[in-house]
Structure 1
Amino acid sequence: MYDEIKIASEQDILDIVAICFENRISSIIIDGRCLSEEFYDLKTKMLGIALQKFINYNIRVAFIIDKDKAVSDRFKELVLEINKGVNFRVCSNVEDAETWLLK
């Protein structure tokens, strides 16, 4: 299933934002397996674009990302910074994501 569905473009992010906005959803969990490889490569700026869109529309996002996926040091540094804020959190499981979103 995760091989078939990938968030791979800015338009995919805008579609998620639109669904949230239309349904008055203010927080979501995104499984990292649904993210294309470009999101993990910071040079593509896809993750930054996504984060900015979610901030602009005041949507809190918990990403569930396997620690093995965060292979680059720069990505790990970004995760540490993201987790300091109130808009985003990178978690390793659904339970942690739900707990953070429900705070």
Structure 2
Amino acid sequence: MDASVNDLLASKYDIRLSKPEDAITILETGLAGMIFIPDDIDEKFFDLKNGVLGETFQKLVNYRFPIAVVLPADHDFGLRVTELAREHSKHPIIRFCQDIDDAKAWMTQFLF
């Protein structure tokens, strides 16, 4: 069966970004990558003081598991998250995109 970029949507597997252990759940899917939209992300995930985002992203980078995070320009997570998204706009493993179409387009390179 050919993989489709729509098969990489986190919501299809009821996976959310909320705690560091979610990285293991993501890796265990065996998928080529995963796309997260705002509804798939706990608002505490973007509280950079708690370290959850950093620990989760580091595990995914260590295992070279690509994820796209859809984060619209008008998000409410603050300036530091905007800076983080800008820093990751060209990252090879963790990519922030402003809309789902950009996320899907970037993720197609990882499909077999």
TM-score band, normalised by the shorter chain? 0.7 to 0.9
Instruction: Tell whether 2:23 aligns with 1:13.
Output: yes
Instruction: Tell whether 2:100 aligns with 1:94.
Output: yes
Structure 1 portions without partners, runs of 5+:
none
* 2:42 match: 36
Residues 50 and 98 of structure 1: CA distance in aligned 2, closer, same or farther (over 3 Å): same
2:69 to 63, 69, 79: 63
2-structure distance, mates of 1:51, 1:7? 10
Identity %: 28
Shift >6 Å, 4+ stretches: none
Structure 2 portions without partners, runs of 5+:
1-10
Cα offsets for 1:32-60 (capped at 9, x unmatched): 22111111111111111121111111111
By how many angstroms is 1:92 displaced?
A: 2.2
1-structure distance, mates of 2:86, 2:26? 24
Cα offsets for 1:63-100 (capped at 9, x unmatched): 11232325311111111111132112111222111111
TM-score (norm 1): 0.79
* 2:81 match: 75
* 2:3 match: none
1-structure distance, mates of 2:16, 2:22? 9
* 2:6 match: none
2-structure distance, mates of 1:77, 1:66? 13
How many residue pairs end up in the alignment? Answer: 97
| Alpha-carbon contact 1:40-1:75 (below 8 Å) kept | yes
1-structure distance, mates of 2:58, 2:28? 14
TM-score (norm 2): 0.73
Instruction: Tell whether 2:32 aligns with 1:26.
Output: yes
1-structure distance, mates of 2:15, 2:34? 17
Q: CA RMSD in A?
A: 2.1
